[in-house]
Structure 1
Amino acid sequence: MEPARPTHNEQQRLHALHDLGILDTGHEDRFERIVRVAAYVSDCPVVAISLVDEQRQWFKAKRGLAVNQTSRSESICGHAIQQLEPLIVEDTHNDRRFADNPLVTGPPYIRFYAGFPFSLDSEHLLGTLCVIDHHPRELTDACQRALSDLARIVEHELIMTQQNVIDPLTGVFNRRGFYREVNSYLTDDVVIEDQHTLLHFDVRQLQGVNQRYGKHAGDKVLKEFAGCLTDVFGDLGWIGRLEGCEFAVLLIQQDVDAVEAQLDRFYLRLCRRLSLERYPFIYSVGLAHFSQIDETVTLETMLLDATSDTRRYAVPEETRHIG
C-alpha cells in the first residue's frame, strides 16, 4: 500500500480546513442532498463528502458507510487531494497504490473509486466528493461532469460557511446570508421572472416546548422545521432563518395555486417528521405575491406585506394519523 502523503501546502491547507469549524459537526440537509444526488447520478452504493484532516478523513455526509472517519494514511481521498483533476480508479486491484489497502481488502471493499476534489480557493484542496463501488466500472463523461458540478456545489456551501452566512443550528441561510442572496437577486438588472412569492414563517409557543421538554426539544423543532422547508421549497428559491423562531422563503415562478399546494405539503411533512416527538406548537404563515420587481420592491417591503396578513397552523401533540 502507498500511504497518502501530505500536500505541498499542507499547513496552509489544514489552517483553512480548521478555520471553517466544520469538522465533527452534525448532519446538515444541504450536504446530505448533495450525497443523495451524487448516488443517483453515479449509481454507486457508497458516496461521501470527505474532509481530509491531519491524521484522518472525516465524512461530513455519507451514504453506504458504517463509519464516520478512517485513517488518512489509508484514504484514497488523501491521494485525490494531491491534484485539481478528479482521481478515477476503475479497478483498485490493478493499481499498485491501493491493491493491498485495508479499505480495499476489507470494508467497505473499494473496487472502484472516483474522487472530485474541492477547495475554497482552487489551491488548498480540503477534501473530495467521492463515489465508490464494490465492482470495477467506468464513469461516462456526462456522469463525470455532473459529479464535478456537485463538487462545485460543495465548495459553494463551504464558502457560505466560511462567510458566516449559514445558520449553524438549521443549516439554512442566517439573516445576513438570506438578505445578501435575495438583495443581490432583486438588484440584478437581468431579472426576467414575473412571479415572486415571499413567505414568512413564525414558530409560536416554542418557549413552552423548551420549558416543558428542555431546550433540546425546541432545537429539534427548529431543525425539523427548517428541514421541511428545505424539502418542499429548497429547489424553488431561497430559505433563511431571520432570527429566533422566524423563517422566510422567497419563491420564484410559482403561481398562487402552486404555493398553496406547497404549504399543504409542508404542513403534512412537518407533522410526519415530528410524529414521534409529541411536541405541540403553532406556526403562522404570511405571504405576499409580486408580479413585477422594480426599484420600489425591496426585501423589507416584501416582508412587510407578507406579515400583514397571516394564517395559523397547529401541529398537534398526536400527529401519527395526519394525512
Structure 2
Amino acid sequence: MTVRPSRREVLRFGSVAVAAAALPATAIAQAPWPSKPIRIIVGYPAGGLTDTFARAYGDFISQKTGQPVSVENKAGASGAIAAEQVKNAAPDGYTLMWTISTTMIMNKVLFKKLPYDPDKDFALISWMDAGHLPFIVNKNVPAKNLAEFAAYARNNKVSVGTYGAGSYSHVAVEALNRHYGLKMEAVHYRGEAPMWTDVMSGAIQAGSGSFAAASSVLQSGNGRAIAVPTKERMKKLPDVGTFYEQGVTDIAFQVQGFICLVGPAGMPKEIVKKLSDMMIEAGKSERIQKILDTFGIDRAAQDQAFFEKFMAEQGPVWIDLVKGLNLEPQ
C-alpha cells in the first residue's frame, strides 16, 4: 500500500528544506579539521634549512592529526613562485607554505612587481628563528675581532661574500663599511655553499651565513668566527662576541632573519590557532631539538601572536635596510 503525505506534512517538511538551504554549508555539516591530507609548499630547494624544518614539523603535524602531510618544493624567484601558488589556494587549512623573511619582507624591495602581496595574501601561523649568522674570516686574515678586522681592511683589499644580493649577508657588509668607513667589496653568490668554499680557500677574505653551512670552514680550521648578530651570544660559539658587544650597534645586527609557516589569507581563526599551538608543541620534541642543535639555532617555533608582533616591529626595519643597498629592482 502506498502512503501519501498529507498537505500539512508536505508544507512542514518543505519549509524545513528551504530553511536548511538558506544556511551556509558549514552550518549544515562542517567536517572537523583536518579531515583530509595537508599539503605544504616550500619556496626553497630540498635539503636546506627551510625544507628540513617543513618536513620535521610537518611530520609532527601528521602524527598529531592522523592525516598525511606532503611537502612539495616550488623553488624560484626568491620564494615568489610558491607564494603565488599558496595565495591562490583555498583558505581551508589544507595548503600551507614554509618560507623565509626574504619572501615575506625583502621581496617588496627586490622586485618591481610581485604576483602576491606579502602583507595581505597570507595568514601568519608560526615564526621560526633562522639562527645566528656568524661573520667568519679566512684563517690567514690576522683578526680575532671586528676592530682587528677593520684595521686589516683599511690597509688591504678585502672582499666579503654574501649568499645573495639583498640578503642579510649583503646588508652586513654595507653596515660594516658604514660603521668603520671601509670600502670592502660585497661578492654575491648563488647560495652559501660556493661562498664558503671561497672563504675556505682564501679567494675571499670573509663571509656571513648559517652555522651549519659554515661548519666545514670552522671545523677544518680554515676560518674563524669573529662576531655574531643580535644582542645574545650563540650557544654553539659562546666565546665569540656579538657585533653589539664589540661596539657595532647598527640596527642591521639586531634584527633577525626567519623561517615561517603561513597559509592563504582568510583561513579560519580556529585552524590557525590549532596549527600555531602544534608548532609550539613540535618545537619541544626530540627530533626538532636535534635539528636546532645541528643548525646552531637557540630557539624553536614561536606562536602566531609573536609572529604578528615581530612583523609589525621588524618588518619596516628590514625594508629600510634593504632599500639602503640601492639595488635596482628586478
Do the two structures share a fold, i.e. TM-score over 0.5?
no
Q: TM-score range by the shorter chain?
A: under 0.3
The structure that has the greater radius of gyration is 2
More helix by share: 2
More strand by share: 1
TM-score, scaled to structure 1: 0.23
Higher RCO (CA-CA < 8 Å; seq separation 6+): 2
TM-score by length of 2: 0.23
